[in-house]
Structure 1
Amino acid sequence: MDTYLYDVANEHNCYITQNKTKASKSFVMETDDMYYINIDVSRIKTSAEKKVYLAHELGHCISGTTYTINHSKLYRGSAEYKADYRAAQLLMPINDLRDCICKGITERYDLAEYFNVTEKFVERALYIYGNKGLLENLEFTL
């Protein structure tokens, strides 16, 4: 696992644990100006998947979009989108992605391998970057 994500966690007052849970593979909680991220590594198959889950939870911390089940579905959807956007910025910075595309690395599986993330995450990052107009002027089809 890249130590980079742990450095980001420290910068944003995030404490990371790796405990088994029944609820989900990962989650974040906020209390007393501190974030607690848990990654259940027993339920995660690859280093790329672990990296994506950690970056997503960090995305919640960075964007300040933690929530509870009492929040509206609309708020939760917005929070997930913002967390994914921050995760994309961490794992697939737009300038690095643009460089890959300009070099002809455009297949999702090739991008996933290059950035050591999951193909599903590549799809999400491309969708978000596309919505934000950050992939304009590139020879690339979403």
Structure 2
Amino acid sequence: MAQERFEELVETFAFLDDWEDRYRHVIDMGRAFPPLDDALKVPATKVEGCASQVWLHPRVAEGQFDFAGESDAMIVRGLIAVLHDLYGGLPVGEVPQVDAAAELGRLGLDEHLSSQRSNGLRAMVKRIREVAAAEAERT
């Protein structure tokens, strides 16, 4: 059920033999991800449970889920971009059905992130799923 962008990321990771190369790729994704407007960096968009500062601003337009996000840590900003490839553009009702652990496991992230980063990633996924589920109930 993964997005085409995410499938392309899986293929890219398959070509990158070394985890250091994959790590750099995630950081580069973060650098390329559009910054979050400072006005949206408020307590309501802050993700608790992350070691670094993380903000996610979900939005739904015409039934499609999307979000903007930012972090003060480059690797986490890259993880936000990875999650955007996984969830961005999905019909809002499909977002909670994505098995994020399995999909992200295809990238090997579960094996190479510190426990703090893994906890933060889970917190971001939880926030995305909660917002999408609440929006799906409204429609």
Shared fold, TM over 0.5 = no
Tell me the TM-score normalised to structure 1 length: 0.34
**Larger relative contact order (Cα-Cα within 8 Å, sequence gap ≥ 6):** 2
Q: Of Structure 1 and Structure 2, which has the larger fraction of its residues in helix?
A: 2
Larger radius of gyration: 1
